[in-house]
Structure 1
Amino acid sequence: MGTPQQYPEEILRSVTVSDFDIDIHEVTNSQFATFVDETGYVTTAEKPQVGFDVPGAAVFMPPSIGHPNWWRFVEGANWKNPEGPKSNIQQQGNYPVVQVSFEDALAYARWAKRDLPTEAQWEFAAKANSETRYVWGDVRSPDGKEMANTWQGAFPIQNTNEDGFDLRAPVGCYPANSFGLHDMIGNVWEWTKSETGQSSEATIYAIKGGSYLCAENYCARYRSAARQFQEADLPTNHIGFRTVSPSNPTPIR
């Protein structure tokens, strides 16, 4: 796991994993809707949030003079309204579900009789035996062809949308890796069940793969070795998940 080429937290290390299977793409809005319809599950973002006392979640918005922060709490943002009440997922059944907390993702996995991947499982699946900087090679966009849904331009103020998408993209619209897996890089970050121990005040898990907000001038974590840390109870509009076979499943808390 890891690489010596980028960030300190990507330190090279050796890990062994047993056989497992993993979803070929992120869990979609349609799949998550079926889960909610059958169980009546209410997600974290649909409940009053600590510090705000209203339902909602974090949404990325390009900064402005009046609002310099690009992450804002938006009342009413949830998996059905990822950017807030004025947004929806109509005609986006095959897009990755977002605005799901770690608990939400784990609940879906349990319902599907599966589990969330460990960071090691996820990275092994993403690398697909490759040894290059990106799974497809050492050049991010070979011959000008975008290989994943990322940010083109100067983040966070200019997105040229050369890949054709301003936000999330439908699952599977970019080439699969040699294991036949789509969207392991870009589109949305993905939850893993590996805790990072980064904070004594909140449970932090590793998320993997980067998202449509990763750019060459900022973050650059649209690589299989990259890792980011996320509070378990913080849903956002650029984090989703996929599931694995339930080898050593995570206990329900």
Structure 2
Amino acid sequence: MKIKYLFLSLWIMLCCENQQGLLIPVSVIQFKDFIEATGYKTDAEKFGWSIVQTNVFDYMVVDDATWFKPDGKNFAEGNFPVTQVSYNDAIEYCKWAKLSLPSYEQYWELAEKDGRIIASEEKLPISPISEVNIIGNVWDITSTLISDEVRLAGGSIFCSAKLCDGTNKDRELFVDRQTGNINIGFSVIVK
């Protein structure tokens, strides 16, 4: 498992490194390894549906939308960020992988060092994690200790600096611990 993170960190070219470690988006392949090793069922799988966002303003509840079929129809590609995951799912993954979610502050401290293009600024679709900046691809779940609400960081393809200020670190967007969405994923700190 840790070997996969080392290879992934080479793709990202240490763009998000500092004394705290590397901030690495979790890919579909990595999440699949977790599911296969543990038999874990995500919140979306338990519910039988999740949220699919079609643009910045429009959402739909879609049956069978899960981490492996984010839109409910098409299979997720392995080198893309895993989506349709909740805070609960991210925490279980981190326990299994012996890694941690970043706090909101850690996320921005590490992510702002990534000099690659921002998907939302270039109007790109959700992109492979090795090709674009961690900011602006999918919203990232951050750790929370005292709240039932989870703060999302980084913006997504639907939320550029010009449209809804999603790539601004002062932007406040919260979800509950069970919410997944086609443009919500998570990153981990690898030391």
**Bin for the TM-score computed over the shorter chain:** 0.7 to 0.9
CA contact under 8 A between 1:57 and 1:99: conserved in structure 2?
A: yes
- 1:172-229 Cα shifts (integer Å, max 9, x gaps): 213xxxxxxxx331110101113685xxxxx111111001111355312223444421
Distance in structure 2 (CA, Å) of the matches to 1:20 and 1:216? 27
Task: Return the index of the structure with the highest Cα Rg.
Answer: 1
The alignment covers a number of residue pairs equal to 174
Contact 2:86 2:180 (C-alpha < 8 Å) held by counterparts? yes
Structure 2: distance between partners of 1:38 and 1:31:
11
Match of residue 80 from structure 1: 68
Q: TM-score, normalised by structure 1?
A: 0.62
Of 186-195 and 223-232, deviating more is 223-232
Amino acid at match of 2:84: Q
Question: Residues 228 and 38 (structure 1 numbering): CA distance in 2 closer, same or farther, change over 3 Å?
Answer: same
What value does the CA root-mean-square deviation take over the aligned residues?
A: 2.5
Q: Which has the higher helix share?
A: 2
TM-score (norm 2): 0.81
Offset of residue 105 of structure 1? 0.6
Q: Which has a greater percent of strand?
A: 2
Q: Secondary structure at the match of 1:47?
A: helix
Counterpart of 2:53? Answer: 60
* Deviation beyond 3 Å, 4+ runs, structure 1: 223-227
Distance 1:230 1:62 in 2: 18
Percent identical residues: 30
Match of 1:172 in 2: 130
- Unmatched tracts of structure 1, length 5 or more: 1-17, 49-54, 64-68, 129-134, 137-145, 152-161, 175-182, 198-202, 247-253
Written as runs of structure 1 = structure 2, the 5 A alignment for 1:21-100 is: 21-23=21-23, 25-48=24-47, 55-62=48-55, 70-84=58-72, 86-89=73-76, 92-100=77-85
Counterpart-to-counterpart distance in 2, 1:209 and 1:98: 14
- Tell me which amino acid in the other structure corresponds to 2:43: T
